[in-house]
Amino acid sequence: MTPTPPSAPPRPVPLVLIGFGRVGQAFSRLLFEKAETCRRRYHLDPFLHAVLNSRGGFATGRPLRPNDLFAGDAPFVEGNHAWQPGLSLDAVLASAPSPGVVVECAPSDLRTGAPGLAYLRAALDAGWHAAAASKGALVVDFRGLRARAAARGLSLKLGGATAAALPTIDVGTTALAGAEVLAIEGILNGTTNFILSGMAAGRPYAEVLDEARRRGIAEPNPSQDVEGWDTAAKILLLANAVVGLDASLADVSVRGITAVEARDVAGARERGFAVRLVGRCARPAPGAPWALSVAPEALPADHPLASVSGTAKGVTFHTDTMGAITVTGGGSSPRATGAALLKDIVNIYSARR
């Protein structure tokens, strides 16, 4: 059942994690949990060389262990021998035994890309691969970052930034290699899909949003989700990474769900339609310029995304030679995003077979 491991030791892969919020913490826990799987199945030994946040970093000069980061369930700084206030990215990259992967999970700004953009540029310039779960830097300068990576033969991975464990980028690139993507449509935000699913029963927007907040599905300030900007950022990344566009957020026509009326959603359901917030990348006519949009749409029951309900997500790629391929599901917890980052790291190093 398990292939015999080659006799050489697993390849060490130093990781520098930037951002130690919910996703960063979940990623580091997952990495400790999956160490043996990585060694056995992929012959890789990814380890945390350092973890940075805006105030400093955790680093000990050897691979970080759980008790260098966590006391019980929570990260701790006070009295932690591994905590170094003001520790910089340059310093930890320089002290690593070899370049590896910078894993970017810092809170990010969709307009400026800060602070991730500077981190990712520095990482690539220092010869490190990059895997991002934050969208800001990628939204602002995907093309520049991709070129910087390509010039050095490095990978820039964004699976964790484009709908967590839903494998949007992997399907759009690896699984569709050689095919022409004619259009992409996606339900890319779990919070808005949860709200629209609840409104299909006739419940008002504000009431379902409150429930989503209480259940921890919606952020305390959900404006980025309900106004459509989270979906816009994700369809933009798919357009640039899969179709090869060079679009920016200003090119996306964005309408969220704040003006959607419960009676319209419920009425659509009675007529057999599902109202969904759809991110779309398509050409209005063959040869016409690509158009990017986010808007609530009433999908017919036989649309492959119509059955994606609750907090689920999904994306459909329309192609020239492979038909339409839809991928749905995938966890959207911090742990699932951490799993998407680990996947990207494994895929940087493991040979295709």
Task: Write down the residue that tokens 């106004």 correspond to.
Answer: 227
Please report whether residue 7 would count as binding a copy of itself according to CB under 8 A.
Answer: no
Task: Report the nearest approach of a copy of itself to the CB of residue 308 (Å).
Answer: 9
End-to-end CA distance of the chain: 17
Count Cβ atoms within 10 A of the Cβ of residue 34 and give its class: 0-12 exposed, 13-18 middle, 19 or more buried: middle
Please report whether residue 71 would count as binding a copy of itself according to CB under 8 A.
Answer: no
Residue 203 to residue 183: CA distance in whole angstroms: 33
Cβ closest to a copy of itself, residue 84 vs residue 189: 189
Cβ closest to a copy of itself, residue 25 vs residue 316: 316
Cβ closest to a copy of itself, residue 50 vs residue 165: 165
Quick count: other Cβ atoms within 10 Å of Cβ 42? Answer: 19
Residue 249 to residue 237: CA distance in whole angstroms: 9
Please report whether residue 167 would count as binding a copy of itself according to CB under 8 A.
Answer: yes
Site string for a copy of itself, 116-155 (x = CB under 8 A): ------------------------------x--xx--x-x
Task: Report the nearest approach of a copy of itself to the CB of residue 31 (Å).
Answer: 10
Closest C-alpha to 169, from 190, 147, 138, 141? 138
Residue 147 to residue 156: CA distance in whole angstroms: 10
Cβ closest to a copy of itself, residue 60 vs residue 319: 319
Angle between helices 22-33 and 334-349 (to 10 degrees): 60
Helix, strand, or coil here: 318?
Answer: strand
The footprint of a copy of itself on residues 177-216 (CB under 8 A) is 177-180
Please report whether residue 339 would count as binding a copy of itself according to CB under 8 A.
Answer: yes
The footprint of a copy of itself on residues 8-67 (CB under 8 A) is 30, 34, 37-38, 42
Segment contacting a copy of itself by CB under 8 A, of 52-60, 119-127, 204-212, 313-321: 313-321
The footprint of a copy of itself on residues 243-262 (CB under 8 A) is 244-246
Residue 242 to residue 219: CA distance in whole angstroms: 29
Segment contacting a copy of itself by CB under 8 A, of 224-232, 248-256, 275-283, 339-347: 339-347
Residue 349 to residue 184: CA distance in whole angstroms: 28
Contact 15, 46 (CB under 8 A): yes
Cβ closest to a copy of itself, residue 255 vs residue 343: 343
Closest C-alpha to 100, from 317, 353, 346? 346
Cβ closest to a copy of itself, residue 108 vs residue 155: 155
**Interacting residues with a copy of itself (CB under 8 A):** 1-3, 30, 34, 37-38, 42, 146, 149-150, 153, 155-156, 165-167, 170-171, 174-180, 244-246, 302, 304, 306-307, 309, 316, 319, 321-332, 335-336, 338-340, 342-343, 345-348, 350-353
